[in-house]
Amino acid sequence: ATMLLITIDGPAGAGKTTVSKLLAEKLGYRYLDTGALYRAVAVAAQFAGVSAEDDQRLDQLCANLRIHMAADRLFLDGEDVTERLRSPEITMLASAVSARPVVRSALFGIQREIGRSAGVVAEGRDMGTVVFPEADVKFFLDASVRQRAQRRFGQYSDKGQSLAVIEKDIRRRDENDSQRDIAPLKPAADALTIDSSSMTAGQVVDLMMSHVLPLL
Ligand code: C5P
């Protein structure tokens, strides 16, 4: 069977992770979570006390980065840091370090390497535009800010963040991600945009499958 490279880009909270995992599972493909890589750099920066403005030390940090992704776990220098990746501080720091060219170019190679294996669903902000411009199918998954905040609130209500705070964080991240000079968040010219505001994850996956199946 043909093994495709499928990209799913979009803003925070649009449901990319859920949908990407489901799609990869359906197709028997590998799932590549590139947000986790930026989050890993943020964790490494926090461990080392390196600020997101310090390009020189970020460069050093990235040069020595040993990231290993296995199933649903992420290891940094052999240590399982999966539980740290989703905290609000790391989330904002990941957004900040991801605007630095030194970080993006360091992660570019890692992503390309993983993308070479056959059959991949790659999730992120610049998969279809920068990292995998040659992808076979490109999706841009969007949803209203309110809807995205509400979904996050549902996922993280145990962490004690209010809906208003989550919505503010999402707006700030949207702004960071789409205003930055390098690899800003935007749909690739040849991407199919899906607004998931009033769709379930299952419906989104079905719609995606209807575009993928004819290519298999
Ligand atoms: O998708 P996720 O929320 O885990 O991504 C964390 C952060 O990493 C995002 O806010 C974004 O700034 C950055 N990111 C990126 N490019 C990607 C994936 C994530 O800049 N391909």
Q: How distant, in Å, are the alpha carbons of 26, 30, 31, 106 from that of 74?
A: 23, 15, 13, 17
What pLDDT digit, counting tens, does each position of 45-104 carry?
Answer: 999 999 999 999 999 999 999 999 987 899 999 999 999 999 989 999 999 999 999 999
Q: What is the pLDDT of residue 156?
A: 67
| Residue 36 Cα: closest atom of ligand 1 | 4
Measuring from each residue's beta carbon to the nearest atom of ligand 1, which residues come in under 6 Å? 12, 34-35, 38-39, 94-95, 98, 124-126, 173, 177
Least Cα distance to 139 among 10, 1, 4 occurs for 10
**How remote is the CA of residue 34 from the centroid of ligand 1, in Å?**
7
**How remote is the CA of residue 124 from the centroid of ligand 1, in Å?**
6
Give the chain's radius of gyration (CA, Å).
Answer: 17
- Which ipTM score applies to this complex? 0.99
Give DSSP secondary structure letters for 59-99.
HHHHHT--EEEETTEEEETTEE-GGGTTSHHHHHHHHHHTT
Alpha carbons 113 and 189: distance in angstroms, whole number: 24
Facing residues of 138 across strands?
7
> Strands (DSSP E) along the chain, which ranges?
5-9, 30-33, 67-70, 73-76, 79-80, 120-124, 137-142, 192-195
Least Cα distance to 117 among 79, 75, 69 occurs for 69
What pLDDT digit, counting tens, does each position of 196-206 carry?
Answer: 999 999 999 99
Residue 157 has pLDDT above 80, yes or no: no
Residue 120 has pLDDT above 70, yes or no: yes
Q: Identify the residue with better confidence: 160 or 171.
A: 171
What element of type H or E holds 12? none
**How remote is the CA of residue 125 from the centroid of ligand 1, in Å?**
6
The annotation status of 18 as a binding-site residue, yes or no, is yes
Least Cα distance to 201 among 41, 13, 2 occurs for 13
Q: What is the pLDDT of residue 176?
A: 87
Least Cα distance to 3 among 110, 115, 97, 120 occurs for 120
